[in-house]
Amino acid sequence: MRRRSDRPDEQSILRAYERYKEIIPDWEGFLAALARPVPHHIRVNTLKTTPEKLQRRLEQLGARVTVEPLNPLVFRLDGLNSVGRQIEYHLGLYHPQGLTSTFPALVLDPQPGEFVLDMAASPGGKTTQMAAQMQNTGHIVANDVTVERVGYLKSNLERLGVLNTSTRVGPAQQIPKHQRFDRVLLDAPCSGLGAWRSGLPPPMGRFANQVERMSRIQQHMILRAFDVLKSGGTLVYSTCTLAPEENERVVQWLLDKRPGATLLPFELGPALPGLTEWQNEQFDETLTLARRYYPHKLDSWGFFIAAIGKS
């Protein structure tokens, strides 16, 4: 009998990761992490409850709750697999969200009363997280490309009690330039090479041409993100892929096209610095201020995050 990892689909995915073997530390540990299921994480919705109250309710349902020290509003749940079927979910007390998926909004750190843009917002995990960080004050513009995707977003905004967010339908790279935002989150659509574990649907990143295609789209998006940012504001660019074409190359594109862009330092969890070179490409030394999260170093999705300021 063939092992699951021997299935043709999964073999093609693993070959895709081979393209990046030189930048992934502890290759065998990385492969072992891909073979394990991703943990069940939820984020406490502080617009409707407190971590203490929610933990008690979940434990009464038989869940084993582990509070994640890197974000105490994130619980790891064991023994409660149907997180989307509980009454607590429908009441909006929590939202299923991977630990590393909460990091971009933590790095962006939107403040109460600010004007914030979420450029690729659906299904709304990061939008609703930012609304809670802002205590439902200020204003978030949450954008996504289709009516259907914005429909999912609106459903989560309503379920989680978000009142400070308006939605927009359209390509992120075509957001009008006449507005200027205090902070911008671009959690860009990507090839998904950080968000795959054995048994999940195959990511687009198993095809090299799709990685290149996404990189070109992201380059247009990050320029518009920077152009609608106020001077002195902060842009966070993030993806759930490990591909340098979609990460460091995209940030380098911004640095080359917009002289006022600068990388900002941050520290959050066990991460590796961004790359300054890959194959025949050279990147600015300041890209070491970006952070790469790997699933065998932190048991969650793989992620890339860069914080960017505007002078």
Return the active site residues: 240
Partner residues linked to 187 by β-bridges: 238
CA nearest to 183, candidates 252, 119, 244, 135 = 119
Beta strand 281-282 with 74-78 is unpaired
Distance CA 248, CA 128 (A): 27
Q: How far is CA 165 from CA 87, 128, 187, 190, 301, in A?
A: 24, 9, 17, 24, 27
If one counts every other C-beta atom within 10 angstroms of the C-beta of residue 309, the result is 15
* CA 53 to the chain's CA centroid: 27
CA-based nearest residue to 106, from 43, 152, 166, 181: 43
Q: How far is residue 83's CA from residue 157's CA, in Å, rounded to a whole number? A: 18
